């Protein structure tokens, strides 16, 4: 059954973001703000970097504000943080990515001014931007979100997001796959991976894929075939899931940008699930300088080792 989701607070949230942006830009707290602005198509939104208080009026927050802007601070706009303190508009999931990046010493908290957004959910990548937000059109990641209200920000609009109970879409799909036999799972993933065209959009958009040179691009030695064909694709996806295990913030940007509609985030979320079970680790708002895979305890499970 389709349930509509209340996004009435978004107008007031946008208003509050604009006022705050106006204030911090004019009093010089920050030199620039990364946020969302309306894009050309009706109802759509796009990332924007503003550096003048006059542009603050451009900022918005709507269900079309899907991007995780954290990526702009590590890769695309690497030079931004160097010019002084930067403001950034973050949803809860984006904030988890920022916390992870701070833990990995990619960013410093004192260089950032965090504008947190109380978020009731954003639209799935498969629907038109002007669509109404319902339990059908919502992004799958939002059905599992435990971070509607970001914590530890410098400013959060006072509105409280409404959190309707929803069916956890990824959890359901992971459970379905786990119940299959290995051969069936192999067939499923073979089919999915064979669609990959190796555009690396998933890598470009991921805040954690910030390596200057990716292992998958190296050819001496070549560990992963670069061809967009079955063997290379399978290796790419396994390596990608492994390198993000214990780091992924679950923003599902990788899956959103994939032009071939591969359910990429299933792999990342499966890893997150295992890390939770094995080492009680979960991506969150607090900054940890050690992730689950670069720390250990002497009592870790070793029942699989002879």
CB of 265 to ligand SF4, least distance (A): 5
Out of 66, 97, 112, 122, the only residue in the binding site for ligand SF4 (CB under 6 A) is 97
CA 169 to chain centre: 16
Cβ–Cβ < 8 Å for 159, 11: no
In the numeric block, which tokens belong to residue 95? 């904030």
User: Binds 17, which of other proteins, ligand SF4, none (CB < 5 to 8 A, cut-off by type)?
Assistant: none
Closest CA to 57 of 9, 10, 87, 19: 19
| Binding segment toward other proteins, per CB under 8 A, in 50-58, 67-75, 92-100, 274-282 | 274-282
CA pair distance 247, 268, nearest whole angstrom:
9
Q: Cβ of 84: how many Cβ atoms within 10 Å?
A: 13
CA pair distance 64, 68, nearest whole angstrom:
12
User: Binds 304, which of ligand SF4, other proteins, none (CB < 5 to 8 A, cut-off by type)?
Assistant: other proteins
CA pair distance 140, 54, nearest whole angstrom:
36
CA pair distance 88, 188, nearest whole angstrom:
39
Out of 199, 223, 231, 242, the only residue in the binding site for ligand SF4 (CB under 6 A) is 199
**Residue 57 or 296 having the CB closest to other proteins:** 296
If you ran DSSP here, which 8-state letter would residue 132 be given? P
Out of 19, 53, 201, 293, the only residue in the binding site for other proteins (CB under 8 A) is 293
Q: Check residue 210 for interaction with ligand SF4 (CB under 6 A).
A: no
Site of tokens 């988890």: 96
Q: Check residue 198 for interaction with ligand SF4 (CB under 6 A).
A: yes
Out of 155, 188, 200, 285, the only residue in the binding site for ligand SF4 (CB under 6 A) is 200
Q: Cβ of 294: how many Cβ atoms within 10 Å?
A: 10
Per CB under 6 A, contacts with ligand SF4 among 234-263 are 244, 248-254, 257-260, 262
State the residues that interact with other proteins by CB under 8 A.
177-178, 182-190, 215, 223-225, 227, 229-232, 234-235, 237-239, 241-242, 245-246, 267, 270-271, 274-275, 278-279, 292-294, 296-298, 300-302, 304-306
């Amino acid at each position: 059954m389709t349930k509509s989701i209340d996004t009435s607070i978004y107008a007031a949230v946008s208003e509050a973001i604009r006022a705050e942006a106006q204030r911090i830009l004019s009093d010089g707290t920050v030199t620039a703000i990364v946020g969302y602005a309306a894009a050309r198509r009706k109802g759509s939104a796009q990332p924007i970097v503003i550096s003048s208080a006059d542009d603050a009026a451009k900022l918005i927050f709507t269900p079309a504000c899907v991007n995780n802007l954290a990526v702009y601070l590590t890769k695309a706009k690497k030079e931004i943080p160097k010019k002084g303190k930067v403001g950034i508009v973050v949803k809860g999931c984006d904030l988890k990515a920022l916390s992870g990046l701070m833990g990995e010493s990619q960013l410093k908290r004192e260089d950032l001014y965090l504008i947190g957004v109380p978020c009731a959910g954003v639209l799935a990548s498969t629907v038109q931007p002007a669509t109404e937000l319902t339990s059908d059109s919502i992004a799958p990641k939002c059905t599992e979100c435990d971070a509607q209200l970001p914590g530890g920000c410098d400013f959060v609009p006072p509105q409280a997001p409404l959190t309707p109970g929803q069916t956890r879409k990824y959890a359901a799909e992971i459970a379905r796959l786990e119940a299959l036999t290995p051969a069936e799972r192999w067939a499923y993933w073979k089919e999915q991976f064979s669609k990959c065209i190796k555009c690396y959009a998933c890598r470009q958009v991921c805040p954690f894929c910030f390596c200057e040179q990716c292992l998958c691009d190296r050819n001496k030695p070549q560990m992963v075939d670069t061809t967009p064909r079955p063997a290379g694709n399978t290796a790419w996806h396994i390596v990608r899931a492994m390198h993000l295990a214990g780091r992924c913030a679950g923003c599902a940007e990788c899956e959103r940008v994939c032009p071939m509609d591969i359910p990429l985030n299933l792999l990342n979320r499966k890893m997150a699930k295992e890390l939770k079970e094995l080492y009680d680790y979960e991506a969150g708002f607090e900054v940890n300088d050690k992730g689950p895979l670069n720390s250990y305890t002497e009592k870790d499970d070793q029942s699989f080792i002879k």
